[in-house]
Amino acid sequence: MTASSEPFAPPAEQDPAGAANLSSVLAAWAMAGAVVGTSVGTTMQLVGQVEGSAAVGLSGAGAGAVFGFLAWLIDRQAAASRPSVVDGKGRLTKPASFALMAVPMGAAAIGLAGLVVVASVSAGSLVYGGAFAFVLLGLGWFTRPLVTSHRVGQAVQLAEGGDTDLARRLFLKIVDGWWITGSGRAQAQLNLGLLALRDGDLEMAARWYELPARSHKGKVGAFACSGLALVRTLQGRWSEAEAFLHKAQTRGRGALQPEVDGVRLLMVLRRDGAIEAREMGERLLALNSGSVFCAALAISREQTGHPDEARDLLEGGIGAGLRASGIVALMPELEELV
């Protein structure tokens, strides 16, 4: 289960490099190596073991970059078994492990703490030590994306494993957390909306989708508007559903077209009938059509006297996915088809 533009299928756009960008990883590990090397070199210079700390710092940076590259390779191989999440740019991605960035940041924090002491002692003043302490505090602030990604990944993994109650509690903690990034909070809100939708609680789903729809104008906001459009369609509030579909299409800049088509087809089915829905669905059916679209088209085929064609559409993983997603409870017309 992932936070998604269409509540029953992940977005099509993926980030093949994953959340762990190689350049960011190398920079973090090289910085950590340089800080630790400088701290060690300065200490050795203070006790007379070396004449300067620059060479030790540069060596530390090089060693850190090498270790960082090896850690990145290992992490990308292990990422295949992790659940996918939607990142702040609206792409489906495999999150990096917590250790990949936590290790260099922890090492840098230790090195900076050492520099606070060494600089204060060597200069006989707290000014230089205070400067390194300020940098240390800044480093702590930049751990927010790391902590956020780790906690969201934990919650998604719990939900995919079937422990939705614990996942919901963790998502709620993320929403209320003060050390969480804005995009991470939006991911948690989208997931809470998805869980509520799967439970059949449409009003609660709308509440959670409304928050990122108001606070995010890009693709994350478009995902939320798509979810709101589905909720309003299921409630029979057609004008509101149309408005949210327009927002989803505008903010997503065409990237959410399959999801928008799915909700619009369901709206036509519920509002105008199966004949109109089938005409529209057969015209728009494509390889990237989402599960809501396929479900609505299958229902329209069955209701217009073509049950075999309806079942053909839901063959393979689509029917199984619909059963597992909980959409059948929201679209009871599917019960005999899946």
Stretch (H or E) spanning 92: strand 92-93
Q: Are 248 and 222 in contact (CB under 8 A)?
A: yes
Overall residue count recorded for the chain in this entry: 338
Between CA 30 and CA 127 the distance in angstroms is: 26
**Is 127 among the domain residues?**
yes
User: Are β-strands 92-93 and 85-86 bridged in parallel, bridged antiparallel, or unpaired?
Assistant: antiparallel
Between CA 8 and CA 2 the distance in angstroms is: 9
**Is 168 among the domain residues?**
no
Nearest to 118, CA basis, from 29, 53, 28: 53
pLDDT values of the chain reduced to their tens digit, one per residue, 338 residues? 344 444 544 444 444 444 457 787 888 788 888 888 877 777 776 666 656 566 777 888 888 889 889 988 888 888 777 666 555 555 556 667 767 777 887 787 777 777 767 666 665 655 555 665 666 566 666 667 777 877 887 888 788 777 889 999 999 999 998 878 888 899 899 999 989 988 889 999 999 999 999 888 888 889 899 999 999 999 999 999 999 999 998 887 777 888 899 999 999 999 999 999 999 999 999 888 888 898 999 999 999 999 899 888 887 667 777 777 777 778 888 887 87
The angle, 0 to 180 degrees and rounded to 10, between the axes of the packed helices 274-284 and 257-272 is 160
**Is 28 among the domain residues?**
yes
**Is 59 among the domain residues?**
yes
**Is 51 among the domain residues?**
yes
**Is 130 among the domain residues?**
yes
Range of the domain at 33: 22-142
pTM of the model as a whole: 0.70
**Is 123 among the domain residues?**
yes
The HSE-up count of residue 228 (CA atoms within 13 Å, CB side) is 27
How many domains does the chain divide into? 1
Question: What does 190-209 look like in DSSP terms, one character per residue?
Answer: HHHHHHHHHTT-HHHHHHHH
Q: Are 229 and 261 in contact (CB under 8 A)?
A: no
Between CA 110 and CA 272 the distance in angstroms is: 65
Binning the chain into helix, strand and coil, the percentages to the nearest 5 are 75, 0, 25
The HSE-up count of residue 253 (CA atoms within 13 Å, CB side) is 7
**Is 268 among the domain residues?**
no
